[in-house]
Structure 1
């Protein structure tokens, strides 16, 4: 029995070790990127934030100095477009978009996008940056955005307007797969937000700052749940996250 328990534990740990995360990388004021590579699903998840009143974009696999000769880029205007850099003009839209928008939320002047794509693909025409799980340990990224509120893409103004960063990956451990590692975004929000876990979620109890339970949401073992508290007053709430094996608390600000 002890041997079986150890084998099951080792098997669980091998599953946990199949994800790498960059953590949140700040590129510009109100612009961040967080990449998670999943070996089991062969997918990359990108949580990207930017200003909600103007276009913004992220270049992947781009290092300083930023030359717009070729490279993988995502741009948000009124929706997300998968593009590639072609000189100094506006990046060209890929014929075959590869990123899927899981959620798109704007609150408090910040837009939060939850995006996913295959780690590797054959789209060389679109200059897609490849992220094989075994060998991807870091890559350069750049964030650019309009200087004023507009959704019309224009030249970014040269090297000085790019915000540079490096996505450096670490392998997630056992603690990262508990409910303590749950992500709640955007936060603050307008009351509509996402709760994302890596271990599954059964129920969310919502408490006011006076300790009163004001709402219970059953989510049926989901790993990503869209929560709507827009029927509640603005303020600070505590989320009690529950599944059959674990419990954790997160704070959400509704403005």
Structure 2
């Protein structure tokens, strides 16, 4: 089972497989999530960023007191690529770095099912660029903030006053990934969605039960294939919050999904 334990305990125990730390999937307002994973074996950070497909969206990360702080590291999707930039301050568009140190892994257009885009990029812990935040595997927290355009547009402009378009700094725990083969490590994306989503695990699902937030069983599904990525469609259910009970041969876990 995946456990939250300290780096000190891992080092004392002498385990060699604790090579990764992750923020887990962080909900950053409506239709936007982020996950940053630090791999100490190759000194790479992997950013998985999900956001609306019809406008720019950005994530600021590092160590800072609040969002849009000058000189802090930021990346944003401009409709074509992930831009590596640095904040200048409130009311001014970020300045693009001379070198983009993020390397594309996957770029998935999820339209029309969800109206979202899923980006996966990697970058070295340290790039040698003074504008880039240097990740330290020994750190236990990471500051995260978000912004996205208030309407459908890729022109850099004010994101508006709505809290769904911007977010205050989140002090996120970096948790050691000791055993990613537990159902507890399963992820669901996009979430929120219109009812179409994918469950990703490193174990094989046997069944998925859908419950109302009040605990009433609504639907049961048997998983016939042995894929680690299982697609589900519950778009026929009303908008709201639902609980999923995931089961394999030896364990079960609960996940929350939101249908918009």
TM-score range, shorter chain: 0.5 to 0.7
Give the drift of 1:34: 3.2
Identify the residue that residue 141 of structure 1 maps to in structure 2: 144
How far 1:177 sits from its partner (Å)? 4.6
The TM-score normalised by the length of structure 2 is 0.64
What is aligned with 1:201? 203
Q: Is 1:169 paired with 2:168?
A: no
Helix, strand or coil: the match of 1:211? strand
Q: 1:188 to 1:137 in 2, by over 3 A?
A: closer
Q: Tell me: CA distance 1:172–1:120, structure 2 relative to 1, closer, same or farther (3 Å).
A: closer
Distance in 2, matches of 1:237 and 1:205, equals 14
**Cα deviation per residue 1:218-241 (whole Å; 9 max; x = unaligned)?**
22xx5xx3x4446x8734896755
CA distance in structure 2 between the partners assigned to 1:239 and 1:180 by the alignment: 11
From 181, 185, 190, give the equivalent of 1:181: 185
Which of the two has greater helix per residue?
1
Larger displacement relative to structure 2 (20-29 or 75-84)? 20-29
- For residues 98-156 of structure 1, the C-alpha deviation after alignment (integer angstroms, 9 at most, x for no partner) is 1434354468867363524244243516x22221312x222333212212232222245
Contact 1:35 1:47 in 2 (8 A): yes
Q: CA deviation at 1:66?
A: 4.9
CA distance in 1, matches of 2:207, 2:220: 11
Aligned residues: 232
Q: Following the alignment from structure 2 to structure 1, what is the Cα–Cα distance between the partners of residues 183 and 14?
A: 16
Coordinate RMSD, CA, aligned? 4.3
Residues 183 and 196 in structure 1, CA contact (< 8 A), matched pair in contact too: yes
Q: Are residues 1:216 and 2:224 paired?
A: yes
Answer yes or no: is the 8 Å Cα contact 1:17–1:171 preserved in 2: no
Name the SS for the 2:135 alignment partner.
coil
1:182-233 deviation line (CA, Å, top 9, x unaligned): 1111135456544334xx33455567844353x52222xx5xx3x4446x87
| TM-score between both structures, scaled by the size of structure 1 | 0.65
Q: Distance in 1 between matches of 2:231 and 2:59?
A: 29
The answer for the alignment partner of 1:4 in structure 2 is none
Structure 2 Cα separation of the partners of residues 212 and 65 of structure 1:
44
The alpha-carbon distance between structure 1 residues 34 and 110, as it changes in their structure 2 partners (threshold 3 A), is farther
Residue segments in structure 2 that go unaligned for 5+ positions in a row: 1-10, 211-217
Query: Distance in 1 between the 2:55 and 2:146 partners?
Result: 13
What residue is the counterpart of 1:153 in the other structure? 156
Q: Against the structure 1 CA distance between its residues 155 and 187, is the aligned structure 2 distance closer, same or farther, given a 3 Å change threshold?
A: closer
Q: Does 1:84 align with 2:92?
A: no
